[in-house]
Amino acid sequence: MSLSDAEYHTKAHVLLARIEAQVDAWLEDDVVDIDTHRTGGLLELTMPGGSKIVLNTQPPLQEIWLAARSGGYHFKWNGSQWVDREGQELLARLSRSASEQAGQSLAFSA
């Protein structure tokens, strides 16, 4: 599904803001200590132990890229959610990667 540039930017911004809000809530509730750093369309999560997960918007491709220890993943809007080529949803992949790198179960939700 193709989005206008404005729609892509809005959906990408909402996604990154949602992830930041979830991490902030975990920090406030003393669930896990993850530091976030955002520069424009790039969101870096520094996990306990120092490993990183990076989410990066790719406006020309209308994708969101996720880089974690487990690998790199490209997600595109399918009309209802961000999915990769195999149909895996971004927040599910992020939850698995964050859980692996934090050493505890973490779940990002829509």
Handedness of CA 29, 19, 94, 56 (dihedral sign): negative
The residue extents of the domains of the chain are 5-102
What does the alpha-carbon distance between residue 44 and residue 36 come to, in Å, rounded to a whole number? 6
What predicted TM-score, i.e. pTM, was given to this entire model? Answer: 0.94
CATH 3.30.920.10 given to domain 5-102: yes
- Angle among Cα 108, 96, 99 to the nearest 5 degrees reads 85
Task: Report the SS3 class of residue 30.
Answer: coil
Full pLDDT tens readout for the chain, 110 residues:
789 999 999 999 999 999 999 999 999 999 999 999 999 999 999 999 999 999 999 999 999 999 999 999 999 999 999 999 999 999 999 999 999 999 999 999 87
Spatial contact of 4 and 79, defined as CB atoms under 8 Å apart: no
